[in-house]
Chain A
Amino acid sequence: MMGILTSMLRKVLFNPLNETNKDQDHNHNEDKPEQNASADLQHILDQFKRSADLIHHRYPREGLDVIYFSHMINEDKLQRDLLPPLLAAPAADIILNEQSQFQQVQNAKDCVTGILSGNAAIFYNNVAYLADVTLPASRSVEESESESIINGPHEAFNENALTNLSLIRKRVRSSHLKVIHLSVGEISKTDCYVLYMEDIANEDYLSELIRRIKNVEIDAIHDTNMLLQCIDDNPYSMFPQYMTTERPDTIASKLVSGKIVCLVDGSPSLLSAPSSFFEFFASADDYYQRWAIGTATLFLRFMALVITVTFTALYVSITSFHYEMIPENLILTLTTSRSRVPFPPIIEALLMETTIELLREAGARLPTKIGQTIGIVGGIVIGQAAVQAGLTSNVLIISVASSAIASFVIPSYIMSAAFRLFRFGLICLAGLWGNLGLVIGIAYMVIHLSGLTSLGSSYLTPVAPFQPYDWRDVFFRFPFRLLNRRPTQNRAQNKTRQKMKR
Chain B
Amino acid sequence: MTKLKEKLSFFHVMILTYMIQTGVVVFSITHLEALHFGTNGWLMALFTSLVVLVNLMLIAIVHRMSNGRSIFEILEKSIPKFILFPIYLGLAALWSMIGCLVAKEYVLIFQMYAFPTTSPMVFKVAIDILAFLLVIKGVYNISKASTVFFFSTIWMNLLVFKALDDIKLERLTTFLFKEGGDMFTGFLNIYIAYIGYELSLLLFPYVNKKTKLMKAVMYGHLIRTFFYLMLGIVSYGIAGHNLLKKMLFPLLDLLAYIKLPFIERVENLFYGFFLFTTLITLVMYYWAAGESTLRIFPKLKSSVHYFVIILCSLIVSTVPVALDQVLRVLYLLGCAQIVIAFLLPVILILLLLIQRRKVVKHG
CB nearest neighbor in B for A448: B133
Query: In whole Å, how far is A110's beta carbon from the nearest beta carbon of chain B?
Result: 36
**Neighbour of B264 across the interface among A327, A435, A456, A464, CB < 8 A:** A327
Report how far A439 CA is from B149 CA in the complex, Å: 11
Q: Using a CB-CB cutoff of 8 Å, which residues 392-450 of chain A contact chain B?
A: 433-436, 438-440, 443-444, 446-450
Given contacts A327-B263, A451-B141, A464-B12, contact A439 B273 (CB under 8 A): yes
- A208, A443, A448: residue with the most chain B Cβ atoms closer than 10 Å: A443
Report how far A451 CA is from B132 CA in the complex, Å: 13
- Which residues of chain B are within 8 angstroms of A463 by Cβ–Cβ distance? 147-148, 151
- Which residues of chain B are within 8 angstroms of A448 by Cβ–Cβ distance? 133
CB nearest neighbor in B for A451: B137
CB nearest neighbor in A for B138: A451
**Neighbour of A436 across the interface among B110, B137, B259, B262, CB < 8 A:** B110
Do the beta carbons of B265 and A324 come within 8 Å of each other? yes
A40 at the interface (CB under 8 A from B): no
Given contacts A434-B115, A464-B143, A465-B12, contact A440 B127 (CB under 8 A): yes
**Neighbour of B115 across the interface among A321, A458, A465, CB < 8 A:** A321
Do the beta carbons of B268 and A435 come within 8 Å of each other? yes
CB nearest neighbor in B for A328: B264
Query: In whole Å, how far is A143's beta carbon from the nearest beta carbon of chain B?
Result: 37
Do the beta carbons of A433 and B149 come within 8 Å of each other? no
Given contacts A321-B114, A435-B271, A460-B148, contact A440 B126 (CB under 8 A): yes
Do the beta carbons of B2 and A464 come within 8 Å of each other? no
Report how far A446 CA is from B151 CA in the complex, Å: 12
Do the beta carbons of B1 and A208 come within 8 Å of each other? yes
**Neighbour of A447 across the interface among B123, B137, B272, CB < 8 A:** B137
Report how far A325 CA is from B3 CA in the complex, Å: 45
- Which residues of chain B are within 8 angstroms of A466 by Cβ–Cβ distance? 9, 11-12, 15, 147
B353 at the interface (CB under 8 A from A): no
- B113, B127, B261, B269: residue with the most chain A Cβ atoms closer than 10 Å: B269
Q: Using a CB-CB cutoff of 8 Å, which residues 93-122 of chain B contact chain A?
A: 110, 113-115
A300 at the interface (CB under 8 A from B): no
Do the beta carbons of B272 and A436 come within 8 Å of each other? yes
- Which residues of chain B are within 8 angstroms of A321 by Cβ–Cβ distance? 114-115
- Which residues of chain A are within 8 angstroms of B247 by Cβ–Cβ distance? none
- Which residues of chain A are within 8 angstroms of B261 by Cβ–Cβ distance? 327
B314 at the interface (CB under 8 A from A): no
- Which residues of chain B are within 8 angstroms of A435 by Cβ–Cβ distance? 114, 268-269, 271-272
**Neighbour of B130 across the interface among A233, A447, A458, CB < 8 A:** A447
Do the beta carbons of B266 and A325 come within 8 Å of each other? yes
Report how far A17 CA is from B110 CA in the complex, Å: 65
A453 at the interface (CB under 8 A from B): yes
- Which residues of chain B are within 8 angstroms of A440 by Cβ–Cβ distance? 126-127, 130, 275
Q: Using a CB-CB cutoff of 8 Å, which residues 233-273 of chain B contact chain A?
A: 259, 261-266, 268-269, 271-273
B188 at the interface (CB under 8 A from A): no
B4 at the interface (CB under 8 A from A): yes
Bitwise interface map of A from 454 to 469 toward B, beta carbon under 8 Å scored 1, else 0:
0011101001111000
A322 at the interface (CB under 8 A from B): yes
Query: In whole Å, how far is A197's beta carbon from the nearest beta carbon of chain B?
Result: 22
B6 at the interface (CB under 8 A from A): yes
B276 at the interface (CB under 8 A from A): yes
Report how far A212 CA is from B11 CA in the complex, Å: 33
Report how far A453 CA is from B140 CA in the complex, Å: 12
Bitwise interface map of A from 323 to 356 toward B, beta carbon under 8 Å scored 1, else 0:
0111110100000000000000000000000000
Do the beta carbons of A327 and B262 come within 8 Å of each other? yes
B190 at the interface (CB under 8 A from A): no
Do the beta carbons of A443 and B275 come within 8 Å of each other? yes
Query: In whole Å, how far is A184's beta carbon from the nearest beta carbon of chain B?
Result: 18
- Which residues of chain B are within 8 angstroms of A326 by Cβ–Cβ distance? 263-264
B279 at the interface (CB under 8 A from A): yes
Query: In whole Å, how far is A492's beta carbon from the nearest beta carbon of chain B?
Result: 16
Main secondary structure of the interface of A (DSSP, over half): helix
Interface size, chain A (Cβ < 8 Å)? 36
Report how far A436 CA is from B279 CA in the complex, Å: 13
- Which residues of chain B are within 8 angstroms of A457 by Cβ–Cβ distance? 4
Do the beta carbons of A434 and B114 come within 8 Å of each other? yes
CB nearest neighbor in B for A314: B269
- Which residues of chain A are within 8 angstroms of B273 by Cβ–Cβ distance? 439
B145 at the interface (CB under 8 A from A): yes
- Which residues of chain B are within 8 angstroms of A327 by Cβ–Cβ distance? 259, 261-264
Do the beta carbons of A433 and B123 come within 8 Å of each other? yes
B144 at the interface (CB under 8 A from A): yes
B134 at the interface (CB under 8 A from A): yes
- B9, B115, B272: residue with the most chain A Cβ atoms closer than 10 Å: B272
CB nearest neighbor in B for A320: B114
CB nearest neighbor in B for A465: B9
Given contacts A322-B268, A327-B264, A439-B272, contact A465 B6 (CB under 8 A): yes
- Which residues of chain A are within 8 angstroms of B264 by Cβ–Cβ distance? 324-328
Report how far A466 CA is from B146 CA in the complex, Å: 11
- B15, B114, B273: residue with the most chain A Cβ atoms closer than 10 Å: B114
Do the beta carbons of B115 and A433 come within 8 Å of each other? yes
Report how far A321 CA is from B110 CA in the complex, Å: 12
- Which residues of chain B are within 8 angstroms of A436 by Cβ–Cβ distance? 110, 114-115, 123, 272, 275
Bitwise interface map of A from 297 to 327 toward B, beta carbon under 8 Å scored 1, else 0:
0000000000000000010000001101111
Report how far A435 CA is from B264 CA in the complex, Å: 14
Given contacts A322-B114, A450-B148, contact A444 B133 (CB under 8 A): yes
Report how far A266 CA is from B236 CA in the complex, Å: 68
- Which residues of chain B are within 8 angstroms of A328 by Cβ–Cβ distance? 264
Report how far A458 CA is from B273 CA in the complex, Å: 24
Report how far A80 CA is from B108 CA in the complex, Å: 87
Report how far A23 CA is from B355 CA in the complex, Å: 57
Report how far A324 CA is from B269 CA in the complex, Å: 11
Report how far A456 CA is from B5 CA in the complex, Å: 10
CB nearest neighbor in A for B123: A436
- Which residues of chain A are within 8 angstroms of B133 by Cβ–Cβ distance? 444, 447-448
Query: In whole Å, how far is B42's beta carbon from the nearest beta carbon of chain A?
Result: 28
CB nearest neighbor in A for B133: A447
Q: Using a CB-CB cutoff of 8 Å, which residues 205-257 of chain B contact chain A?
A: none
Report how far A324 CA is from B110 CA in the complex, Å: 14
CB nearest neighbor in B for A461: B144
CB nearest neighbor in A for B122: A433
Q: Using a CB-CB cutoff of 8 Å, which residues 24-42 of chain B contact chain A?
A: none
Please, could you name 10 A-B residue pairs with CB atoms under 8 Å apart, sorted by A? A322-B268, A327-B261, A330-B262, A435-B272, A443-B149, A444-B133, A449-B148, A451-B141, A456-B4, A465-B6
Chain B positions near chain A (C-beta within 8 angstroms)? 1-4, 6, 9, 11-12, 15, 110, 113-115, 123, 126-127, 130, 133-134, 137, 141, 143-145, 147-149, 151-152, 259, 261-266, 268-269, 271-273, 275-276, 279
* Closest CB pairs A-B (n = 4): A439-B272, A464-B144, A464-B147, A450-B145
Chain A positions near chain B (C-beta within 8 angstroms)? 208, 212, 233, 314, 321-322, 324-328, 330, 433-436, 438-440, 443-444, 446-451, 453, 456-458, 460, 463-466
Q: Given known contacts A325-B269, A434-B115, what 16 new A-B pairs fall within 8 Å (CB)? A: A212-B1, A321-B114, A322-B265, A326-B264, A327-B259, A327-B261, A433-B123, A434-B114, A436-B275, A443-B276, A450-B144, A450-B148, A451-B141, A453-B3, A463-B148, A464-B143
